Structure 1
Amino acid sequence: MLVAAKTSGATPLVIACRNGHYEVAEYLIEKCSADIEQPGSVMFDGETIEGAPPLWCAAAAGHLDIVKLLISHGAKVNSTTRTNSTPLRAACFDGHLEIVKYLVQHGADIEVANRHGHTCLMIACYKGHLTITKYLLRLKASVNRKSVKGNTALHDCAESGSLEILKLLLEHGATMDVDSYGMTPLLAAAVTGHNHIVDYLIKHSNLVSRKERIDALELLGATCVDKKRDMISALYLWKRAMVERYTQGETPIPKQRTKKVAAYDYVVEISDPDALDDLMADPDEMRMQALVMRERILGPAHPDTSYYIRYRGAVYADAGKFNRCIELWNYALDMQQSMLDSLNPMIQSSLFSFTELFSFMMGEEGKQTSRGRLIPPVDVVEILRVFNKAVREVKLGNEMLEKMPNVERDMTYLTRVLVITLHMACLLTRLMEHNKSTNEVNKEIHRAIYNLVKLSIKTRNGRTALHLACCREAALLGRYPACQFPSPHLAEILLEVGADPNSKDDEGNTPLHLAAMAKPCPASVAQTLLNHGAHIDLVNNSGETFATLLKGQQVHELVNTTKYTKLSCAAARVIQQFKIPYKGIVPAALEPFIACH
């Protein structure tokens, strides 16, 4: 019983194998009959690996003696973690060559991929382990096998910058395939800024076309601007690309015309070699050129396209140019919402960044930035613009989840997006409270919040938007908290546009119950709920009322109970207290009313 027990998710044998304690592992196996396959949770490089068998732990940590011990006692050499990672793949990850050889000699399958389709060869290439790569290739590892996202081992070494491994793969028949984003290994090297990989590949006309050479040079130049802040190298690379386009004695390949974008300051991509030199005098336009180029080459679906738009916006915000930041971030958010699945983590991240930015601007208005600029007042119309996009994300996310079977439905992402959306609503109510919006805009805000409430979203634990507004745990953790939860102002507007004050979550709690659990319960929230029809004496599934849930507070300190207690409620409580039979005696419509008291 002791050796099978888990501490922080790991058995004693898993812990001993992870930390290299040979004698302890031997004792547990031989004297205590520990289950040699019982998995556990272990930490590697700050990440929790779930369902890791003892052999996987020893192989990943590089303990060859324990690997031999486990296999000698019959450990399954191809056992996997929850993500389908084998002990062999774990050894390849951290470059433990002797363990790799030992596992293969004892039947390890080199082609078992993890749940993402990444094989042992792919991970050895990505991590730059040349000797392991050579060994796997001698064993005829599949060199052109693709992962779930379509990348090959050649993509992995191009992305990590290992030229020696790249040459080795090409010698063994690796081909320049595209992944699910349409990226070749050449473009993968350009995106990550590996000049030496790009230079090597573009010299081989049998591997890459002229257009691919041009795209790679231009993309590498954009990476120099945004990732390395190296304007001189970027210009050099863009000039090389221009020469390839127009002056190589072949038919010119003109640049594809792209629409002018307000977020990019309506920049038109330069196609004149002489005009490139003028860019050095205008770094800001050069940065916009890099964004336009990247979007043209990678397309809007590639994560790096929106990532660098957001990055450039953040740089503008740091410099005090908040309008430029907001414009770029809106463009990136529109791009993400049009290309990605609803509730995608990248969309969540964009919406969360907006809440932090708007909260910072509201909290620091009128103060100077580190660059000496004054922080302007936030424009309520800009928050409303993003809020409407957030409501759309909640709506589409909920529709997507409703199509899934209950067993596959995970409410985590929908809950987070709704919480972010409510924080933006909270900011809007604060601006309304301080008369920083016109009557027309106030109507728009009410309409937008009504659109959110009428969706009748139930998140994790069956909670509505009003539940979250009255719940302490719904507060977003960030550098600049958007507003404090529970929020009376947010609760007020949600109730005004039709939120149900007596809606119950999965535990039978109404928003009033959650407010009582806030410790301390804000009197303003309780009074707001009661003034809009919340029942003060409803019981949850545990038989608790608002009054009994208060800790360290008395109900009369918060509200005048007489004002909110009806004679019908008092009668219902008496029936319940004395267990008076009522079903089939009172009118049927009254039965649920009595039951909830």
Structure 2
Amino acid sequence: MDFKTVVFNAARDGNLTRLKAYLHSWRSADELNMLVGAKVGGATPLVIACRNGHYDVAEYLIERCKADIEQPGSVTFDGETIEGAPPLWCAAAAGHLPLVKLLVRAGANVNSTTRTHSTPLRAACFDGHYDIVKFLVDNGADIEIANRHGHTCLMIACYKGHIRIAKYLLSLNADVNRKSVKGNTALHDCAESGSLNILKMLLGYGATMDVDSYGMTPLLAASVTGHTHIVEHLINAEHGLVTRQQRIDALELLGATYVDKRRDMVGALALWKRAMDDRFPADGSEPIPKPKDVPRIEAYDFAVEPSNAQQLEEILADPDGMRMQALVIRERILGPAHPDTSYYVRYRGAVYADAGRFVRCRQLWHHALDMQRAVLPPLSPLTQSSLYSFAELFSYMLAERARPPLRGRIVPPVTFEDIEPVFSKALDEIHRGTELLDSKLSIDREQTLSTLQRVLVISLHLAALMARLLEEPDCTEEVSRKIHKAVYSLVKLDITVRQGRSALHVACSAEGARGRGGRAWLATEPAPPAPPARLVTLMLRLGAPPDARDADGNTPLHLVCKLNPCPAEVVRELLAHGAHIDTVNYEGETAEQILKASAQSLASIVNPLRYTSLRCLAARTVKNYRLPYRHVLPLCLYSTVLTH
């Protein structure tokens, strides 16, 4: 164990005796500074001591060792890694008031921030450490500094339900109507979390019913999350806090939440009846009928919303009809851009899949995917998630068909017609992603390449499933032709993702072998999985270049040989389609040398001589003996020597 690890472990465990015994022996101030400033696992000794509440250790590091009280580190809270956290932030987040006081006395900046721009005050507000909040404010902490999402201390206190902190911040004139980057206010946050007392207090301080970037009011936020008590308070509030139309929408949306979240059909019907009574009041007020231009959607079984109380009563006898009503209502009120709209469509599809109703599942998931692709930017994580769900569904169905039926449940076959529409949408998402990369827009190029690679992996997953269909005994020539055409459309994209890798590189890599979620292409394959040889073969036949190089000079053959165990069939296919056995990457390694490093042998897979030409032997001789070839060999042979 090295010196810095000894110091770090002593600070982490609060072992002051061991820490003193070790650091006291260091005579040089430079060596001492190096040890107390060194990071292990991303954290310094002071950062980890403050995170774990070791006051005496922190005091010794600050006063005796002169540790930098502003040097940030990485710490974990509730399973989440916080990057760039200063010691004061760690102490405040963990609720260690004596440490907070120690650091402030030592001159720590009370408004220092993490990488996400979270302050120590916001950290204390998150977990409800009132005494720390008050101490930090008394010592100059700014209550209005928001994190990178625009969430203020008041917002997080309201969301987490810390009424004492919220009241204190409001007494300091915290901006009650300030909006985050996505337009939500503190009133949205407490409506979403269900904190009625805080909501009443915010209203008393002048909070208004603003809309966020999705057009959501706090009332609708409470309806989506199913907080009936918040909804009832807001719609029954004096002074006309909400309009009649807003009250109707809230009741109808809350009813949809009762169906999908609570599975309470009777409760949902009661809410929809109240909304219907509001639409057609008995006092003769102007009626507010439901919109007539709402399109009928096939995925929802062309459901039409009831227009009177009798039709509402009839629908209660049809549970599926109630579920489709919930989806129709949610899409009408929230719109397709709201994440909850597609989330509940996908959720309902998953429920159908669990019940063996795979056709209904695919209908709903296609509708959710189409909504996402219509309103979300290219390569959105939500779109990726929907595409991957399809890939997992098809993999599951194929795996289940290979097993004996469970309790008489028969899983239908997966056909090309099932996979191809999803595959086409995945390729279109890749095309949109490459257009984004080629555009002149200001984007994080590395992040975009990473997300593009994830969509490519999903596309390869789907292509592997189609390639598997070629081996089915009932695969016709027409289906085979369509599969070849579909996979060719992926090959001809000639896409390059992270590290300069082609689609064939990714298919032959560890990430490609496992798929986006770190799982095998099919649930029945053993771990660690190998790249699907049938897909690699198909891509090579359709023109994927076997000797393409990535940013490190690796060919697909190099990447396959880095897998342990190395998939012999894939190696043979690459060599059979022209991969060069002697090609070296930029580290000077051949595929054979990579295999040797992991105690594997190329000779056990193929006969190397079969893929070695006289030209190769000559080039090896020139390289191995460092013969002067420049200005001796023709220029056309230079690349041959360099390749070896």
Asked if 1 retains the 8 angstrom alpha-carbon contact of 2:248 and 2:275, the reply is: yes
Q: 1:188 aligns with which of 196, 221, 230?
A: 221
Tell me the matched-pair count: 597
**What runs of 5+ residues in structure 2 fail to find an aligned partner?**
1-33
CA pair 230-120 structure 1, distance change in 2 beyond 3 A: same
- Judged with a 3 Å threshold, the aligned counterparts in structure 2 of structure 1 residues 397 and 435 are, in CA distance, closer, same or farther, namely farther
Match of 2:620 in 1: 573
Q: CA deviation at 1:543?
A: 1.1
1:247 Cα offset (Å): 2.3
Compute the displacement of 1:528 (Å).
Answer: 0.8
Within 1, Cα distance between the matches of 2:408 and 2:140? 66
Residue 100 (structure 2) aligns with? 67
CA deviation after TM superposition for structure 1 residue 158, in Å: 0.4
CA RMSD of aligned residues (A): 1.7
Contact 1:320 1:371 in 2 (8 A): no
* Paired residue secondary structure (2:75): strand
| AA of the residue aligned to 1:456 | D
Change (3 A) 1:187 1:371: farther
> Aligned partner of 1:226: which letter?
D
CA separation in 2, counterparts of 1:516 and 1:232?
A: 60
1:566 is displaced (CA, Å) by 2.1
Query: What's the CA shift for 1:497?
Result: 1.6
Task: Provide the secondary structure at the position in 2 that maps to 1:51.
Answer: strand
Mapping for residues 367-378 of structure 1, pairs under 5 Å:
372-378=408-414
Q: Which residue of the other structure, out of 592, 595, 599, is the alignment partner of 1:552?
A: 599
Identity of aligned residues (%): 62
Offset at residue 372 of structure 1 (A): 4.9
CA distance in 1, matches of 2:405, 2:186: 46
**Contact 1:368-1:374 at 8 Å conserved across structures:** no
Taking the aligned partners of 1:522 and 1:259, their CA distance within structure 2 comes to 51
Give the conservation status (yes or no) of the 8 Å contact 1:319–1:371.
Answer: no
Alignment match, 2:19? none
Aligned match of 1:20: 53
Q: Bigger CA drift: 586-595 or 56-65?
A: 586-595
Superposition TM-score, scaled by structure 1 size: 0.97
Structure-1 separation of matches of 2:346 and 2:631: 63
Residue in structure 1 matching 2:269, options 235, 251, 259? 235
Please tell me whether residue 467 in structure 1 is matched to residue 496 in structure 2. no
CA distance in 2, matches of 1:221, 1:15: 48
TM-score normalised over the length of structure 2? 0.90
After superposition, residues 420-439 of structure 1 pair within 5 angstroms as 420-439=458-477
The answer to whether the 8 A contact 1:343-1:417 is kept is yes
Identify the residue that residue 325 of structure 1 maps to in structure 2: 361
Change (3 A) 1:553 1:65: closer
Greater CA drift, 407-416 or 127-136: 407-416
1:478–1:564 distance in 2 versus 1, CA, 3 Å: closer
Distance between the aligned counterparts of 2:121 and 2:619, measured in 1? 67
User: Are 2:551 and 1:517 equivalent residues in the alignment?
Assistant: no
Taking the aligned partners of 1:352 and 1:438, their CA distance within structure 2 comes to 27
Q: Does 190-199 or 554-563 show the bigger shift?
A: 554-563
The answer to whether the aligner puts 1:258 opposite 2:294 as a matched pair is yes
**Structure 1 residues 32 and 103, CA gap change in structure 2 (3 angstroms):** same
Asked whether the equivalents of residues 547 and 579 of structure 2 are also in contact (C-alpha less than 8 Å), the reply is yes
1:490 matched to which residue of 2?
535
Q: Is the 8 A contact 1:359 1:480 kept in 2?
A: no
Q: Secondary structure at the match of 1:167?
A: helix
Structure 2 residue aligned with 1:277: 313
Q: What SS class does the counterpart of residue 108 from structure 1 fall into?
A: coil
Does the 8 Å CA contact 2:146/2:152 hold for their aligned counterparts?
Answer: yes
Give distance in 1, aligned partners of 2:146 and 2:445. Answer: 24
> Could you tell me which amino acid in structure 2 is paired with residue 525 of structure 1?
V
1:214 aligns with 2:251: no
Which amino acid in structure 2 is aligned with residue 255 of structure 1? K
Aligned to 1:527: 572
Could you tell me which of 347, 357, 375 is aligned with 2:393? 357
**1:419 equivalent among 442, 453, 457:** 457
**1:131 corresponds to 2:167:** no
Distance 1:188 1:170 in 2: 16
Structure 1 residue 347: deviation in Å? 1.1
For 1:85 and 1:336, locate their aligned partners in 2 and report how far apart those are by CA, in whole Å.
Answer: 31
CA distance in 2: counterparts of 1:479 and 1:373, whole angstroms: 25
Q: How does 1:281-430 map to 2 (within 5 A)?
A: 281-365=317-401, 372-403=408-439, 408-410=445-447, 411-430=449-468
Q: Is the 8 A contact 1:342 1:396 kept in 2?
A: yes
Structure 1, gaps ≥5 residues long: none
SS of structure 2 residue aligned to 1:42: strand
Match of 1:39 in 2: 72
Cα pair 1:401 1:409 within 8 Å, conserved: no
User: For structure 1, which segment, 546-555 or 303-312, has the greater mean C-alpha deviation from structure 2 after superposition?
Assistant: 546-555
One-letter amino acid matched to 2:250: A
Structure-to-structure mapping, 1:158-197, within 5 angstroms: 158-197=191-230
* CA contact 2:416–2:483 (8 Å) conserved in 1: no
Question: How far apart in 2 are the matches of 1:130 and 1:83?
Answer: 25
Matching of residue 246 in structure 1 with residue 283 in structure 2: no
Tell me what 1:595 maps to. 642
The alpha carbon displacement at 1:580 in A equals 2.3
Q: Residue 91 of structure 2: which of 52, 58, 63 is its match?
A: 58
SS in 1 for 2:81: strand
| Kept after mapping to 1: 8 A contact 2:446/2:498 | no
Instruction: Say if 1:356 and 1:480, in contact at 8 Å, map to a contact too.
Output: no
Query: How far apart are the structure 2 equivalents of 1:84 and 1:32?
Result: 28
Q: What amino acid sits opposite 2:446 in the alignment?
A: R
